Structures are given as C-alpha cells and as structure tokens.
Structure 1
Amino acid sequence: MTRFQFFLVLALLFTSPALAAVEIVDGDTLRIDGERVRLWGFDAPESRQMCRIADREEPIGNEAKAALRSILAAGSLRCQVRQQHD
C-alpha cells in the first residue's frame, strides 16, 4: 500500500453521521449495508488469490484483507462516491 492510499483510508475513517453494517470482502472491497463498495485508488489481491514466493504458495489475498481490517479497526468509516462503476 502506498503512502497516498494509506492516507486516503485514514481520511475515510472520520466519524460518519449514520451507522451501517460493514463487512470486509477483500483488500479493496467492502459490503456496506449489503451494498458492495470498491475503495477508490486501491488495487489489492482478491481474497482467494495466491502468490508463489520462494517456491511456496502464499495466501496474499488473505493478507490484504487482514491489512484492511486492521486499518478499519482504528475508527469510523465515512464514504464518498467517486464513480458508480469499477
């Protein structure tokens, strides 16, 4: 994750005026009140994506999802629509 992307996520974490159910789908996708939302400016591995590192298959998709989970655990989430489609 670049420094810009990190600060973008932090900007999204300010207090939201409404409460919503948030589920982390993968490293760049959330489900907010049942609606699938892609994070703008992010390109993370899909949740089941594997990568060969030093002759071993590593679950990098799970790592991306865990990283987003730890970022979002720091506070509230505020969303702003940038574009309608990915």
Structure 2
Amino acid sequence: MPPTVESILALKYRSLLIIAETMYVSQKKAVKFVRGEKRLQRLVDEGRIRYDKPFGATNTMWRYNLADILKNVKTDFRLNELDPGLVVSG
C-alpha cells in the first residue's frame, strides 16, 4: 500500500520535532509562532512550553524550546485543506 499524503506529512512533522528538540528560540520569535504574548505566557504557565535563561549576564534573553513551540503553533485559518503539492516523499 503506497503512503498517503497524511502519513508522509505526519512522518515529516515527527522528524521536525525530533530535530527541534535541542533548539531554542527567542521570546520574540516564540510569540510570533504561538500568535500572542498572552498565549505564550499561558502555555508556559501550564507547562506545555519549556523555557530556559542561560546562566551569566543579567541581560540574557529567555529561550523557549522550539519543539514545544511547534507543538503549540496556532493553526492558520487560511489553511482549510492539505496541499498534496507540498509533499515530497523521501
């Protein structure tokens, strides 16, 4: 049975999350991904997004785990169906 568009997208999404597990983004980028400062704060308070502040200087920026951010990205309302043209297996 050939792979479906959905199964290929699911595998790519899981691969992306594995790669992003060790990556961090700034607060500014995290706010853009989750679509809002209050939403980001709520997700952090609920423990759904891990964050870190590197030890050292007092003016160091907060860093948010990219995999957690991607899991909580708000779906774009303009995307109402899958585009098979976006899927390239392999």
TM-score in terms of structure 1 length: 0.32
Which has the bigger relative contact order, CA under 8 A and spacing at least 6?
2
User: Which has the larger strand fraction?
Assistant: 1
